[in-house]
Structure 1
Amino acid sequence: MKTIDIVELSHRTGLPASTLRYYEERSLISSIGRKGLRRLFDATVFQRLALVALGRSAGFSLSEIEAFFSSDGSASIDRKLLHEKAAEIDHQIQMLQQVRDGLLHVAECPEPSHLECSRFQKMMHIAAKKQARAAKR
């Protein structure tokens, strides 16, 4: 079995060694030993790191990604969780499309000032409400 030390792993993945150590601390990856002071990993670490990267790019937290792995270290992703995340992303897309459409309207609004645009006023009001709700949490 080919092993790779943490320096080479860092170089090949672009992740700082500190992140790799943190991922090991969180049990997302595990070293198989040491060579001097350097941690050693087997080749399966690339697949695990790829799964972590995919999870992060989909917006999963590290805690959620930890649940992707069984106690034996194999990947075991809850399909219900994937559906929930996809629905969450769909909601974010809808919200961003609304924001984009509002911004485009305001950019082309014939009113002499943005503050005189009723749609812009509505957008500011909604944003202020959301901020106030978030602050209460």
Structure 2
Amino acid sequence: MTTKLGDYLSIGQVADRSGVPHTALRFYEDRGLITSERSAGNQRRYPRTVLRRIAFIRAAQRVGLSLEQIGEALATLPRDHAPTKADWARLSRNWRDELDARIDALQRLRDQLTGCVGCGCLSLRTCGLHNVDDRLARFGPGAPLLKPAAEGGI
């Protein structure tokens, strides 16, 4: 199969189309998340499939996954493969527990932010009810009422 020049994009075109800065694209490439070829003038040329990989990377970052986790997931796909809906479903199954824990932590934060969080400040009226004499200090540093149980929260 022959490839046409139109099948490849410059780094500027990829940046414009994906909304990701040139510097981030180079960083992603250095980390092995995306690949490019070099033109005769040594300029980066990306296959169009890179746009889907970048969308995948950005979506995974938005839900809080690290680039290391994203890289491990993308490593299970062929290098120039655009992740499909089925790929996303398969890969995201592995992240479900972690995402559920993050959602739980965010909901706890949302629901308790205006009241006592067990941080030890004892400055709010509700601290006297929820954290009498800073008894929650026994759960360790930080705000145990905001932490997930897996991290020592209550």
Give the Cα separation in 2 of the matches to 1:87 and 1:116: 30
CA RMSD of aligned residues (A): 3.0
Give the Cα separation in 1 of the matches to 2:62 and 2:40: 32
Match 1:91 to one of 97, 104, 110:
104
Matching residue of 1:108: none
Q: What letter corresponds to residue 29 of structure 1 in structure 2? A: I
Higher helix share: 1
Q: Deviations over 1:25-75 (max 9, x none)?
A: 111110022252421001101100000001000100000000121252344
**Number of aligned positions between the proteins:** 120
Structure 1 alignment gaps of length 5 or more: 104-113, 132-137
Give the Cα separation in 2 of the matches to 1:68 and 1:27: 12
User: TM (normalized to structure 2)?
Assistant: 0.63
Structure 2 alignment gaps of length 5 or more: 117-121, 144-154
What's the secondary structure of 1:11's corresponding residue? helix
1:79–1:55 CA distance, 2 compared to 1 (3 A) = closer
What's the secondary structure of 2:73's corresponding residue? coil
Give the Cα separation in 2 of the matches to 1:78 and 1:7: 29
Quote the offset at 1:97 in angstroms. Answer: 2.5
What's the secondary structure of 1:130's corresponding residue? coil
Percent identity, please. 22
1:129 aligns with 2:127: no
Q: Deviations over 1:9-28 (max 9, x none)?
A: 11222222111011011111
8 A contact 2:33–2:71 mirrored in 1: yes
1:36–1:115 CA distance, 2 compared to 1 (3 A) = same
Matching residue of 2:26: 21
Give the Cα separation in 2 of the matches to 1:68 and 1:30: 15
Matching residue of 2:123: 115
